Amino acid sequence: MGLTIAQLTQAIRRKVDEDMETVVAEGIAEHALGFFGFSNRIIDNALEPNDRNLFYQLQDYDLLTTESEETTLWDGREWRIHYWKFKSTAEAFALAAMEMRAKKVVDEDPYAGIYDDMPANLWKERSGEEDDWEEPLF
C-alpha cells in the first residue's frame, strides 16, 4: 500500500472535520504511518494504549482494520496474533480526498471589501480632519 502522509492527512480531515487545521491532521497521519514503516501491517503488541486509541479512532473513520492469525506454540497451545492494517479502500478514499481538496476553490471572505465603497470622509481617520480628542497617557 502506498499511502502518503499528504493523502492520509486529507483523508483524516475529510473523515473527522473539514475545518481541522492541516498541521493537526498531518501530525495524526505522520504518527500513524510511523508505525507501519515499509510494512502493510503492524502487530498490535507494538502499540502503547494511547497509540491503540488512535488506531481505534482511525478504524471508526473506516481507514484501518484489524486481522488476526493463530499459530500453535511448541507446547501445543494456540496463540492468536492481532494486526492492524489500512483498509484497501483507504488509499482510494485518500486519493479522492486529495482530488476534492485540489478542486475546491479557496473560499474568499464575503466581508473583505465591505467598507471599500464607503466615502473616505465618513471616517475621521481617512478624511484628514483633525480629531480634537487626545488619548490619555495613563
Could you give all domains of the chain from N- to C-terminal order, each with its CATH number? 5-103 (1.10.10)
- State the burial class of residue 29 (Cβ atoms within 10 Å of its Cβ: 0-12, 13-18, 19+): buried
More confident residue, 133 or 88: 88
Q: Are 45 and 51 in contact (CB under 8 A)?
A: no
Nearest 5 degrees, angle CA 74-CA 76-CA 80? 90
d(CA 67, CA 82): 6
More confident residue, 89 or 65: 65
d(CA 35, CA 47): 8
More confident residue, 40 or 132: 40
pLDDT in tens, 91-128: 777 777 777 766 665 556 677 777 777 776 666 665 56
pLDDT of residue 7: 84
